[in-house]
Amino acid sequence: MTLYTCPAGTHGASAPIVKHPCGVAAKALDEAGHTYTHKTVGGFKSVPFSRRGKREEIKALTGQVDVPVLVLDDDSAIHGSAAIVAWAASHRAG
């Protein structure tokens, strides 16, 4: 499986006030015991035009450009940190 994140990567899940969604998704997968490939896509949601031309891979896979996105081994995709956290909690590895 592959976790696509913004340039913040898998960091930010332990931030004191606002937790970064990409980091939250990665932490949930780690805590559930999953191994995954991590791919970073360019641009940030809050920076206008920074994503332009940098997220075609995810758009081709999922039809949208927001991250985090988890692409499972069967090529199905899970969008958003809340959905990825829920999936990881109900699909523990091992």
- Taking only the tens place, the pLDDT of each residue in 25-39 is 999 999 999 999 999
Encoded tokens for 40: 């970073």
Domain regions of the chain by residue span: 2-90
Say how far apart CA 65 and CA 62 lie, in whole Å.
Answer: 8
As a whole number, the mean pLDDT across the chain is: 89
| 2-90: CATH number | 3.40.30.10
Sort strands 2-5 and 69-71 into parallel, antiparallel or unpaired.
Answer: antiparallel
SS3 73: coil
Encoded tokens for 34: 């999953």
- Residues linked to residue 89 through DSSP beta bridges, in sequence order: none
pLDDT attached to residue 38: 96
